[in-house]
Structure 1
Amino acid sequence: MSTNLIDLIKGQLGPATVSQTATQLGESESGISKAISALLPAVIGGFANSNAKSELFSTVKDASTSGLLSNLLGNLSGSDTVVSKILSLIFGDGDKLAAITNAVSSYAGIKTESTNSLLNLVTGATAGTLGRYATENNLDVSSFGNLLDEQKGLLTSLLPAGFSFASLGLGNWFGTVDAEPVNVNVIPEANQTPLADVNPVTPVTERPIVTDSPITDTPKVEVNRSGSTHEIVSDNNGGGGSIWKWLLPLLLLLLLGWFFWKQCNKKVETVPVGTTDSSAVVADSTNTTPDSVVTTRETLVVTLPSGKTLQAYKGGIEDQIVTFLKSDDYKNSTEEQLKDRWFNFDNLNFEFGNAKLTPESQVQLDNLKAILAEFPDAKIKIGAYTDKKGDEAVNLKLSGERASVIKSAVSSAQVLEAEGYGSKFAKVSADATDKERESDRKTAIRFTK
C-alpha cells in the first residue's frame, strides 16, 4: 500500500496556519484556503516529476534538520535559501512559476504577491515533511524516488473543483494525458456532411468530444500526437454510452473537489477534546472535566501588549493566559494561589503512547513563546498527566518525557520546571471508556513567582 504523503503535508497547513497567513498577507481565509488547495498538488507534482531527484533528496534531508517546519510562516518572505533552491529544482525556469502563480491567483481571487508567498509556504511544508519522513524511514535516493512516484496517482483527486493546470501543459504531472496537445480531425463518412468549422491542425488542450450524430454511422476521430496518427472508430451501440464513459468520472471528480474545497473554507473547526494522544484538550484553568467530548472551536485574534497579534481559539490557552497576565488577579496572586491555577493546552498533542509532538502542535508552542517574550517577568512550570489505565510507573515516565519535550520546544529561561505526574491526579477509573478518561490526559502550565 502506498504512503499518502499528502495527508502528512496537509497536517502542516491546518486552520490555524491559514488564519495566521491570511492576517499576515491581508487576504481572506477562504482565498488563502483556495490558493493552498491548488498549490499543494502543483508542488507535490513538481517533486514527483523533477529530473533532479538526487539533488532534491539531499536538499530535503538537509531541510529536515534546519528547522524549516518550525518556522513555516517565516517562509512567506521567500528568504529561505532551501525553499528557493527547491522551487528551482522542481519548476525550473521562472516562466513556469509565473504561469502557476498567475493561474492560482486568478482562481483564488488573491494578489499575485500573496500567491508567491503561499508557494514558499507550501513548498516549505512539503520539503520539511518529505525530509523528516525520509530521515525517520531511512530512505535512500532510489526509495525516495519511488515514494514520489507513488504520489502521482493521488494528485488528480486533490485538484480543487473548477481548477486545472491543463492550460499550463502540466496535466501529465497528475497521471493523465488530458493536458497534452491534441490535433483532432473529424473525418466524415461518405454519406455525412463535412463539419465546416473544423481546423484539422488546430491544437487543443482538452480531450476531443465526439457528439452523437443523427446519422446511423458514427464519425471516425483521428488523433494526432507528436506526428503519429491513430484512427479511433467508436461503436454506436446505445449512442450515449460514449458520453457517460468520460462524464461520470468527471462528475465524481468535481464532487470530490467541491467537498475538499468546502472543508478548506471552514472557519469553525470541530475537534475532539480531552486527550494529548493526537487529539486536543479543552483549555480549562481549573482542570475540571469537560462536559462533552466534542466542541465547536471558534478562531480568535489575541492581541499582545506590543500590538502583535496571534491566531488562536476563543477560550483557548492563549486567550486565557494573556487575559490573566494583563489582570490584577495575576499581579496580586501569591505563589500559593498560583499553584492551583493551571491552564491546559488545547491544540498541543502527542502521538499515541510516546513523547513525539504532532506537527500541528508547533503553532501553539510558537504562540506560547511569543507570549512569554511579551511578559518577560512571567515564569511558568509545565505539567503533564495521564489517565489511570496501564502501569503507573510507565505512565509516570511517559508524562515526565512529555513535559521535558515541551520545555525543550519552548526553549525559554522563563520555563523554570517541567514535571510529569502520571495518573497521580487522575479522577476517572481505569475501567471507564476511553472517552471518559480523556479529561485525565492533558498537558498544562501554571505561573510561578
Structure 2
Amino acid sequence: MALNLLELVTAGISRENTGKMAALLGEETATVTGSLGAVAASILSGLMNKASATGGAQEIVSRIAAGEFKGDLLNNFGSLLAGGRQTETLLKTGGELVSFLFGSKSADLGKVIASSTGLAKGSSSSLLGMMAPFVMAVLGKQVTSDNLDSEGLTSLLNSQKSAVQRAAPAGLPGVLGLLSLSQLGGAPPTVPIGIPGNIASFAKGLWPFLLGIAALAMLMKTCGQPPVKETPPPAAAVAPDTTAAASDTSTAAPDSAAVAADSLGAFGEYELPNGVKLNIPEFGIERKLIAFIEDATKPADKETWFSFDRLVFDTGKATLKPESQEQIGNINEILKAFSAVSLKFGGYTDNVGDPQANLRLSKDRAEAVMTEIVKLGIDKARLDAEGYGAEHPVADNATEEGRQKNRRVDCRVTKK
C-alpha cells in the first residue's frame, strides 16, 4: 500500500491530544477533530509547493536534518500541549514554519481554513501553528528512515497529491499562487541550456504572462458551454465569521456570490443517498454542505456557514440570473436526499450606499434564493432567510475585490 502522509498525521494525533488542542483554542473537540484533515492537507500542500521551487526541497531537508522535526516531537506531542512555555515554544516553531511555507499569505490561509472548517479565524491560525511541527515531524521521520535526499523528498511529497487534493480546503490554490491544486509539485517551463542569460531572464519574466493567457483561454473556452461547467468571475471562498451574505447597490462590478474557478477544483459526478447524481466541483458549497450533513460529529449550529459560489444577481437587485439555477437545483436535490435537514439563508452586502437599502437588498436576496428552492418542491417550513446588510465583512471594503467578497449569499444547517 502506498504511503499516505495525511493518514499518518491524522491517525497519529490521539483523541486526548485533540481534546488538549480544543481546550487551548476554546473550540469544541468535534470541530477540531473535523478540521485536522484540512489543516494537515494545507501544510502538506505548502511543503509540496515549497519543494517545487528552486532550492526549496533542500531547505526542507536541511530543517529536518537540523534535528528539530524528528520522532521526539511525535512522542512528546502531548506534553507540548499542556500549556505554559512548552506550548508557547510549539506555537512559535509552528508559526515560523507556516511563514516559511506560505510567507505573506499565512493570514489568508487562516481565513481559508476558518471558512472550510467552522473554526474561528484566530483558532484556525493557532491550530496551524500546533499542527505544522507535527506534520513536519511525520515527514521528517520518513525522510530519516528512508535516508531521502532533496530529490527523494520531492518524489515522496508529489506522491501525496491525490490525498491532499481531496482534503484541502477551498481557496487554498489562491493562497499558494496556483490556478488549481493539480499544479502542486509542478514547475514553470525551464529555459533550454545554452540560451543567453538575458533571454533566459526574459523568458522567466514571461511565464506569469503565459499563465494569464492560458487562464484567459480556459475562460473563453467555457463561453457557450452548458452552465454545468461555467463559473462566473469573481471573489474568493472565504465565509463570514458568524453570518451570511449577498450583494449591494454599487454598479462597478457584477453582483455575484461566485468564487474564482480555480478555487472550485474540477467538476465531477457525486451520487446522493437517494441515487440522484450531481455534477459538482470538488471544493464547491455542495460537497462541503453534504460533508457537514453526513458528519455525525458536527451538530447544527449558528456559526458554520457555507458560501454559495455560483450565484449571480442583477446589479442592485434581488433577481437571480439564469446561470444561478444550476446551483439552486443542486441545493434542492441535497435537501430532497436529506429530508431531515433544514437550512437558513443569509444575505450580505458591502458598505457602499445607504445602510437601510443594503439591509433590505440583503434580505431580499436571501429570500429570493429560498423562494427558488421552494418552487422546486421543498417545504418552506424547512427553510428560513435573513438579511444582514453590511455587518461582519470578510474582506476590506476599501477595495473593489474586497467589496465583491463581501457581497454574497450563504447558508447554514439549522437541523439535521
TM-score (normalised: structure 2): 0.43
Higher relative CO (Cα under 8 Å, sequence separation at least 6) belongs to 2
TM-score (normalised: structure 1): 0.40
Please state which structure has a larger fraction of its residues in strand.
1
Bigger radius of gyration among the two: 1
Please state which structure has a larger fraction of its residues in helix.
2
